[in-house]
């Protein structure tokens, strides 16, 4: 998409595991908890000379009591399309927005980390500008939650994954924040759409926060911050 105005990003909170821990955590959240995503996008837009045309505004849309449709696990293309249509219809029915123009809807499903050591894969849909994001109901995980939220938000703008799903290792060069760094490994930052910072050929770690992530040139092309091949 081509940004001409500030893009509203509406965040909706969902108790993903219906636990008391997640319920308490949802009540503690404010829009300020997600401001690092705004700051990350602003700072990266500045790096690419796009500061006047790439701002976002985080809006907290409140708690939603119903669960969104679950994406198919290893589903066929047809199953994924069917889920996408269901998700868009569910989002239309359950989340209101204020104001004209395109707006992103990010549905954050929170889970008690004591009961859920690993979370299912999150998804972001460009059609409908919708994200369905699984995150932990923990202050200790809040900064890494924002890394996941930013990743899925960028999917809604057309950015693609840049890692090998079989190994979770970032692809070179597009999944490296600084592919021209010498020596190449370890990398200093994680490319946001790779989701991890490569340390060796076989080891990569999730950025601790958005301060440790960058938008690489391929992702910048995909969200219209750079001309193709630029």
Q: In angstroms, how far is CA 205 from the centroid of its own chain?
A: 17
Q: Tell me how far apart the alpha carbons of residues 228 and 114 are, in angstroms, rounded to a whole number.
A: 44
Which of 133, 158, 183 terminates a domain? The answer is 158
What domain range is 219 assigned to? Answer: 160-230
**8 Å CB contact between 207 and 27:** no
Both 25 and 103 in a single domain?
yes
Q: Which long-range contacts (CB under 8 A, 24 or more apart) does 212-217 make?
A: 213/40, 213/147, 213/150, 213/177, 213/189, 214/44, 214/47, 214/177, 214/178, 214/189, 214/190, 215/44, 215/47, 215/48, 215/154, 215/191, 216/162, 216/174, 216/175, 216/176, 216/177, 216/179, 216/191, 216/192
Spell out where 79-129 has E strands.
104-111, 123-125
Give the pLDDT confidence score for residue 2 in this predicted structure: 62
Q: In angstroms, how far is CA 77 from the centroid of its own chain?
A: 22
Give the pLDDT confidence score for residue 1 in this predicted structure: 59
In a domain, 78, yes or no: yes
Give the pLDDT confidence score for residue 230 in this predicted structure: 44
pTM of the model: 0.95
CATH number of the CATH domain containing 82? 3.40.50
Give the pLDDT confidence score for residue 100 in this predicted structure: 82
Both 58 and 149 in a single domain?
yes
User: How many CB atoms are closer than 10 A to CB 201?
Assistant: 10
Both 150 and 71 in a single domain?
yes
Both 201 and 130 in a single domain?
no
On the question of a cis peptide bond just before residue 125, with omega within 30 degrees of 0, the verdict is: no
Which of 139, 158, 177 terminates a domain? The answer is 158
Q: How many domains does the chain have?
A: 2
How far lies 166's CA from each of 90, 155, 171, 213, in Å? 31, 20, 12, 22
Give the pLDDT confidence score for residue 3 in this predicted structure: 66
Give the pLDDT confidence score for residue 179 in this predicted structure: 97
Both 37 and 98 in a single domain?
yes
Which of 109, 134, 158 terminates a domain? The answer is 158
In a domain, 1, yes or no: no
Both 144 and 200 in a single domain?
no
Both 138 and 203 in a single domain?
no
- What are the mean pLDDT values of the chain's consecutive 10-residue runs (230 residues total)? 80 98 98 97 93 86 95 88 96 90 95 94 94 98 98 97 95 97 97 97 96 97 80
On the question of a cis peptide bond just before residue 186, with omega within 30 degrees of 0, the verdict is: yes
Both 152 and 176 in a single domain?
no
Q: Tell me how far apart the alpha carbons of residues 115 and 137 are, in angstroms, rounded to a whole number.
A: 11
Give the pLDDT confidence score for residue 223 in this predicted structure: 94
């Amino acid at each position: 998409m081509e940004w001409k105005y500030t893009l509203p990003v509406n965040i909706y909170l969902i108790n993903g595991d219906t636990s008391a821990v997640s319920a308490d955590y949802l009540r503690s959240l404010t829009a300020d908890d997600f401001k690092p995503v705004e700051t990350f996008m602003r700072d990266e837009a500045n790096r690419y000379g796009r500061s006047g045309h790439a701002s976002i505004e985080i809006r907290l849309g409140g708690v939603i009591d119903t669960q969104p449709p679950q994406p198919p696990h290893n589903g066929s293309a047809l199953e994924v399309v069917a889920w996408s249509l269901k998700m868009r219809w569910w989002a239309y029915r359950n989340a209101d927005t204020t104001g004209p123009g395109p707006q992103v809807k990010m549905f954050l499903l929170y889970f008690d980390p004591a009961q859920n050591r690993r979370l299912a894969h999150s998804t972001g849909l460009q059609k409908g500008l919708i994200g369905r994001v699984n995150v932990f109901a923990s202050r200790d995980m809040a900064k890494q939650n924002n890394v996941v939220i930013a990743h899925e938000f960028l999917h809604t703008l057309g950015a693609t994954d840049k890692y090998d799903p079989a190994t979770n290792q970032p692809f070179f060069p597009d999944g490296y924040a600084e592919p021209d760094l010498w020596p190449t490994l370890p990398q200093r930052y994680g490319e946001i759409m790779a989701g991890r910072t490569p340390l060796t050929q076989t080891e990569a770690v999730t950025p601790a926060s958005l301060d440790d992530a960058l938008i690489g040139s391929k992702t910048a092309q995909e969200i219209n911050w750079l001309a193709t091949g630029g």
